[in-house]
């Protein structure tokens, strides 16, 4: 059964290609190549019924597009060679670095290559507890987010590692460049998060949402020549809701740089990607009792962004 989505053109997208506009409007889980294929297959039309058959079509203010998402194709579970950095390996689990721009696993409307394909190519044993489409996946990172993930090699390990997350006995820290300044030098954002009532791929702050807590610390603030402020922030998750850091920072008028889903001017920073890194994990190994701590250095793209802030 197909699914129909709606997208309306705002001022910031006037004159842009329709494939770029729809990629932003539909969220991180949808790839631009998927959008282009839908256009080629005549799955996109205006509210007036005009079929769009070119990805280069320029959108206009207020245009409403209807996207008929085709039925899901078979799961893409082919092993595919992928350059994966392994930071720690034990008989029960792995800690890897997920590259930015690749989904942890296949998502709605997107069966493009995911981290799972690379895991299946490199590792013979992966847990199946998370379901057929998610071998080894204990927890996930958003498609544009880079950083540390724990991968389970068997179902028993998956169960034990999953308990670490459920009991909050694992420290998860992120680094992010945000636009603007968060209140004070450090603080807590304690706001409930729920699925957005109108935009199914987004989350939002809602009194009906699940409790969500993010601790943050501003590491540095830099101003561009035009007066824009950007802050490098460390965020520690006390809960693990979908898009939690992204939604919490956006709620404070400090969206993450390059966030196509929650920032209005994200297209200015598209060459850098989403500036969010899962850079630190620490926990007590449930199998050996040892204290495990893994920390990533700042990626080159984070450093390039900082050195080029003046031009923004």
Express each pLDDT in 38-48 by its tens digit.
999 999 999 99
pLDDT of residue 17: 94
Closest CA to 118 of 94, 143, 98: 98
pLDDT at 263 over 80: yes
Set 19, 28, 110, 142: catalytic member: 142
Cα–Cα distance measured from residue 248 to residue 231, given in angstroms and rounded to the nearest whole number: 15
List of residues 6+ apart from 183 with CB closer than 8 A: 252
Q: Please, is 184 exposed, middle or buried when counting C-beta atoms within 10 Å of its C-beta (0-12, 13-18, 19+)? A: exposed
Angle at the Cα of 144 from the Cα atoms of 141 and 147, rounded to 5 degrees: 50
Query: What confidence category does residue 306 fall into, taking pLDDT thresholds of 50, 70 and 90?
Result: very high
pLDDT of residue 138: 94
pLDDT at 100 over 90: yes
Q: Return the H-helix or E-strand segment holding 115.
A: helix 115-122
The reply to whether 110 belongs to the active site is no
**178-211 pLDDT tens trace:** 998 787 789 999 999 998 888 878 999 999 999 9
pLDDT at 151 over 80: yes
Q: Is 79 left (phi over 0), alpha (psi -120 to 50) or beta?
A: beta
Give the count of beta carbons closer than 10 Å to the beta carbon of residue 239. 14
Domains annotated on the chain, with CATH: 3-69 (3.10.290.10), 73-167 (3.30.2350.10), 169-311 (3.30.2350.10)
Give the count of beta carbons closer than 10 Å to the beta carbon of residue 125. 12
pLDDT at 109 over 60: no
Quote the percentage of the chain above a pLDDT of 90: 73
Token pair, residue 273, equals 């990607």
pLDDT of residue 115: 94
Closest CA to 158 of 125, 123, 118, 130: 130
Cα–Cα distance measured from residue 235 to residue 186, given in angstroms and rounded to the nearest whole number: 10
Cα–Cα distance measured from residue 146 to residue 148, given in angstroms and rounded to the nearest whole number: 7
> Mean pLDDT, the chain, as a whole number?
91
What are the phi and psi torsion angles at 70 (to 5°)?
Answer: -65, 160
């Amino acid at each position: 059964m197909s699914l129909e989505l709606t997208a309306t053109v705002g001022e910031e997208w006037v004159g842009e290609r329709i494939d770029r506009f729809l990629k932003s409007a539909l969220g991180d889980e949808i790839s631009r190549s998927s959008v282009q294929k839908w256009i080629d297959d005549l799955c996109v039309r205006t509210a007036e019924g005009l079929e769009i058959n070119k990805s280069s079509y320029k959108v206009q203010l207020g245009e409403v597009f209807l996207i008929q998402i085709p039925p899901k194709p078979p799961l893409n579970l082919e092993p595919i060679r992928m350059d994966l950095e392994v930071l720690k390996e034990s008989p029960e689990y792995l800690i890897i670095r997920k590259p930015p721009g690749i989904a942890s696993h296949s998502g709605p409307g997107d069966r493009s290559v995911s981290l799972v394909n690379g895991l299946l190519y490199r590792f013979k044993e992966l847990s199946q507890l998370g379901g057929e489409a998610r071998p080894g996946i204990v927890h996930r990172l958003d498609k544009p987010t880079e950083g540390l993930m724990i991968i389970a090699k068997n179902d028993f390990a998956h169960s034990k590692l999953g308990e670490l997350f459920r009991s909050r006995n694992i420290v998860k820290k992120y680094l992010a460049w945000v636009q603007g300044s968060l209140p004070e030098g450090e603080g807590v954002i304690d706001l409930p998060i729920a699925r957005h009532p109108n935009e199914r791929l987004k989350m939002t702050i809602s009194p009906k949402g699940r409790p969500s807590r993010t601790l943050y610390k501003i590491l540095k603030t830099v101003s561009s020549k035009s007066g824009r402020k950007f802050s490098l922030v460390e965020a520690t998750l006390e809960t693990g809701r979908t898009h939690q850091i992204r939604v919490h920072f956006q709620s404070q008028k400090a969206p993450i740089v390059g966030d196509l889903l929650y920032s209005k001017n994200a297209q200015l920073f598209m060459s850098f990607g989403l500036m969010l890194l899962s850079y630190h994990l620490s926990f007590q190994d449930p199998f050996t009792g040892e204290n495990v701590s893994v920390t990533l250095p700042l990626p080159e793209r984070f450093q390039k962004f900082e050195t080029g802030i003046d031009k923004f």
